[in-house]
Chains A and B, each alone.
Chain A
Amino acid sequence: MAETPSNNEYWAANIRLVTWSLVIWATVSFGFGIVLRPLLSGIAVGGTDLGFWFAQQGSIIVFLVLIFFYAWRMNKLDIQHGVDEE
């Protein structure tokens, strides 16, 4: 298949979406859950702090939201750029 301008734009939009999603993915897990946990230690959540909650609950919930958002957005981008499956 030849490279078309629409394909290029589509691919660039996809890369942008993936990049932002992965920034959020890393922030909630490696950030809030691990490295930045000391900064969040002031925020109490049920006998511990927000970082602990992100490590054991919050990041999983954010992952879920991210995948569904990505699937919804990408499936729309497919149609906008005319590359969806007929």
Chain B
Amino acid sequence: MDQYTLNLLFVGATFALYIGIAIWARAGSTSEFYAAGRGVHPVTNGMATAADWMSAASFISMAGLIAFTGYDNSSFLMGWTGGYVLLAMLLAPYLRKFGKFTVPEFIGDRFYSPTARMVAVVCLIVASVTYVIGQMTGVGVAFSRFLEVDNATGLYIGAAVVFIYAVLGGMKGVTYTQVAQYVVLITAYTIPAVFISLQLTGNPIPALGLFAEHTASGLPLLERLDQVVQELGFAEYTGAQGSTLNMVLFTLSLMIGTAGLPHVIIRFFTVPRVADARWSAGWALVFIALLYLTAPAVGAMARLNLIDTVYPNGTAEAPIAYDDRPVWMQNWEVTGLLTFNDANGDGLIQWYNAGSESFAATAAERGWAGSELSVNRDILVLANPEIANLPGWVIALVAAGGLAAALSTAAGLLLAISGAISHDLIKGQLNPNISEKGELLWARIAMAGAVVVATYLGLNPPGFAAQTVALAFGLAAASIFPALMMGIFSKRVNNKGAVWGMLAGLIVTLVYIFLHKGWFFIPGTNTFTDADPLLGPIKSTSFGAIGALINFSVAYIVSNATEEPPQEIIDLVESIRVPRGAGAAQDH
């Protein structure tokens, strides 16, 4: 059976599984459609949260970004797991006690202001749309490879599938579908990693293999990797290259963004008890950590394998000829995400860091006229099993896993966006008398609109999948997290403080991102680049932490200059701080 058929078979089988479970579970209980997770054990809920949370950014993109940069991109690992500590300790149990379903509802009630609720809706939409653009990038990469078409066609097909998947809607809310998605996703991620770790180090656990001895060279794996990348003029893999300040701010932005993203917080609203909200955050992190502890090993080992593929006799010898390139390179060339340009016309694939001044002399001596291979970082995880010559079924499994990750999160975000527009904005504000049918129509329109915008911007994305998603986290960090935290931990912050704080955090962060990534992410409209940012070393992906600081400061100053919140709001804050008396979560 050829690879193409095998891919279709695996992807088809996993989709049939999700739909089957959805139908089976829906027949059992319709209320699950509205409140995923109610009455579900914290372990199960944790697994479903992990599937919801881990998207194309975690699965497809992150290890590739680590592979090509090394230590500096550890921020993704610490940032996207450290946020759960904030979530468990600062938000989840209190929001569960509050007992409503959406983030704008909490903000509207706590800050006794429909304006605050509307501002929260806007923040939610801006962060979620940015997030979907990143998912579309990942979906495009996955579909273009496994249907063997160019990247743009892959993106169009992917967008159509995401839209249909999201319209089917309720599937997303069924906890057991998400549990199945998690199992597919983690199996697909782990199996190739175990194989590759065994090949390179003899250790079956990738997280340990990363720090073990590289069998072929007798050196520790990371030392060997440092050696070969530097022989090609690349920066040392384990060394710190960028600014420490930027790395700290980037990590912090991802952490507080994690705790501010509505589609994750929402899961903790509906666990049975406050105590379970705390446990659920822990279990979610257990299942997330299984992937995150493996990812750095996947990255490092893939980089080493890639270099060994191009330089089969060592970096000092000639690289392979283009005509002898392995099949996987030919497959990825079809997508346009891997390209070869024979700059010196010798028919060999020279791949090195052409930007390195210290390496320029060596390159000239060897007759190299520029690096000839360009590899999109988002293809690395999907190409990884092919690079390592793993069996066809493993490759097909990874394709299925990548699609599960991308589709489940993209569909969830589209539901969040359409819900915010039809329910919070139109029914809650503009037209309270709208019929249920009208509300549903608006939900569909909003969803279609978001898909079109995300697809258009996904064609020329502001960055690799995980980088675009990182921008979404920055926006959530600057707008939603501070409002939620102050709503719980301060009795003094009032309606005006919260509104001005959110607006200041969101606008300043959005402007900083647009200045670097182009206005509304339209390419070419940017004034600065992340290589040379406006404020010292602070890149646009790291600005969320500063936006959050601005949000906190503005809210504090404005609140102290204006009247205190009324007594019933102070009582509300008192009541969400203690678990006793928590009823079931309520719709309104």
Tell me, in angstroms, the Cα distance from A64 to B571 when the chains sit together. 33
The one of A37, A52, A60 that contacts B293, using a Cβ cutoff of 8 Å: A60
A21 and B578 form a contact (CB under 8 A): no
The answer, yes or no, to whether A46 is at the interface (CB within 8 Å) is yes
Residue from the list A47, A60, A74 in contact with B222, Cβ < 8 A = A47
> Are A85 and B579 in contact (CB-based, < 8 A)?
yes
Contact count band on B: 35 or more
* Residue among A49, A52, A56 with max Cβ neighbours from chain B (10 Å): A56
B207: CB under 8 A from chain A?
yes
| A70 near B577: Cβ-Cβ < 8 Å | no
> Residue B220 at the A interface, CB < 8 A?
yes
A selection of 8 A-B contacts at a CB cut-off of 8 Å is A47-B219, A52-B238, A53-B211, A61-B289, A70-B89, A74-B275, A84-B580, A85-B581
Measured in the bound complex, the distance between the Cα atoms of B286 and A64 in whole Å is 7
Task: In the A-B complex, list the 6 residue pairs whose CB atoms are closest, starting with the nearest.
Answer: A47-B220, A46-B211, A71-B278, A47-B222, A55-B74, A47-B223
Minimal beta-carbon separation of A80 from chain B (angstroms): 12
Report whether B220 and A46 are in contact in the complex, using a CB–CB cutoff of 8 Å.
yes
The answer to whether B282 and A85 touch across the interface, beta carbons within 8 angstroms, is no
- What is the distance, in angstroms, from A52's C-beta to the closest C-beta of chain B? 5
The residues in A between 17 and 59 inclusive whose CB is less than 8 angstroms from any CB of B are 18, 21-22, 25, 29-30, 33-35, 37, 45-49, 52-53, 55-57, 59
Given contacts A30-B248, A34-B247, A46 and B578 within 8 Å (CB-CB)? no
Residue among A21, A46, A47, A75 having the largest count of chain B Cβ atoms under 10 Å: A47
Check B252 for interface membership: any CB of A closer than 8 A.
yes
In chain B between 88 and 104, which residues have their CB closer than 8 angstroms to a CB of chain A? Answer: 88-90, 93
Interface pick from B76-84, B315-323, B350-358? B76-84
Q: A1-B575, A60-B78 are in contact. Are A47 and B278 (CB under 8 A)?
A: no
Not counting A18-B89, A83-B579, A85-B581, a sample of 9 additional A-B residue pairs whose C-beta atoms are within 8 angstroms of each other reads: A35-B244, A46-B212, A46-B222, A47-B224, A48-B222, A49-B238, A57-B210, A57-B293, A60-B78
Q: Is B564 an interface residue (CB 8 A)?
A: no
- Scan B206-217; emit 1 where CB is below 8 A from any A CB, else 0: 010011100000
Contact A21 B248 (CB under 8 A): no
Q: Which residue of B lies closest to A29 (CB)?
A: B78
Chain A positions within 8 Å of B85 at CB level = 21-22, 25, 63, 66-67
Q: In angstroms, how far is the closest chain B Cβ from the Cβ of A14?
A: 8
Give the interface size class of chain A: 35 or more
With A34-B247, A55-B77 in contact, do A63 and B84 touch (Cβ < 8 Å)? yes
On whether the beta carbons of B278 and A7 are closer than 8 Å, the reply is no
State A47–B252 Cα separation when bound (angstroms): 28
Interface residues of B (CB under 8 A from A): 71, 74, 77-78, 81-82, 84-85, 88-90, 93, 207, 210-212, 219-224, 226, 238, 240, 244, 247-248, 251-252, 273-275, 278-279, 281-282, 285-286, 289, 292-293, 296, 571, 574-575, 577-582
Q: Mark A1-13, 1 if CB is under 8 A from B, else 0.
A: 1110001001100
Which residues of B lie under 8 Å from residue A10 when comparing CB positions? 578
Looking across the interface, which residue of chain B has its beta carbon closest to that of A7?
B578
Chain A residues near B (Cβ < 8 Å): 1-3, 7, 10-11, 14, 18, 21-22, 25, 29-30, 33-35, 37, 45-49, 52-53, 55-57, 59-61, 63-64, 66-68, 70-71, 74-75, 78, 82-86
B395 to chain A, nearest CB (A): 26
Cross-chain contact A57 with B296 (CB below 8 angstroms) = yes
CB of B88 within 8 A of CB of A84, answer: no
| Contact between chains at B579 and A29 (CB < 8 Å) | no
Whether A57 pairs with B78 at a CB distance below 8 angstroms is: no
Which of B252, B279, B292, B575 is in CB contact (< 8 Å) with A30?
B252
Q: Are B579 and A84 in contact (CB under 8 A)?
A: yes
Report whether B77 and A34 are in contact in the complex, using a CB–CB cutoff of 8 Å: no
Residues of the A chain whose Cβ atoms lie less than 8 Å from the Cβ of B220: 46-48
Indicate if the CB atoms of B238 and A29 lie closer than 8 Å: no
Interface centre among B82, B210, B251, B273 (most CB of A within 10 A): B82
Q: How far is the CA of A61 from the CA of B89 in the complex (A)?
A: 17
B252 lies within 8 A of A45 (CB): no
* B278 engages A63 (CB within 8 Å): no
Q: How far, in angstroms, from A35 to B244 measured CA to CA in the complex?
A: 7
User: CA A83 – CA B85 in complex, angstroms?
Assistant: 23
Contact between A34 and B89 (Cβ–Cβ < 8 Å)? no
Chain A nearest CB, measured from B156 CB (Å): 36
A19 closest partner in B (C-beta): B89
A64 close to B580 (CB less than 8 A)? no
Residue in B71, B219, B247, B282 whose CB lies within 8 Å of A67: B282
Partner of B248 from A35, A64, A66, A68 at Cβ < 8 Å:
A35
Asked if A85 and B84 sit within 8 Å, CB to CB, the answer is: no
**Cα separation A47 to B71 with both chains bound (whole Å):** 13
- The answer to whether B578 and A45 have CB atoms under 8 Å apart is no
Across-interface contacts of A47 in B (CB, < 8 A)? 211, 219-224, 226, 238
Nearest-CB distance from A8 to chain B (Å)? 10
Q: Are B282 and A75 in contact (CB under 8 A)?
A: no
> Does B74 contact A56, Cβ atoms closer than 8 Å?
yes
> Which residues of the partner chain A approach B226 to less than 8 Å between Cβ atoms?
47
CA distance A25 to B223 in the complex (A): 29
Q: How far is the CA of A47 from the CA of B207 in the complex (A)?
A: 14
Which of chain A's residues have a CB closer than 8 A to the CB of B244? 34-35
**Contact A63:B81 (CB < 8 A) given known A18-B89, A47-B222, A85-B274:** yes
> Could you tell me the distance in whole angstroms from the C-beta of A7 to the nearest C-beta in chain B?
6
CB neighbours (8 Å) of A37 from chain B are 240
Residues of B within 8 A of A33 (CB): 74, 78, 251
Instruction: Name the residue on A nearest B274 (C-beta).
Output: A85
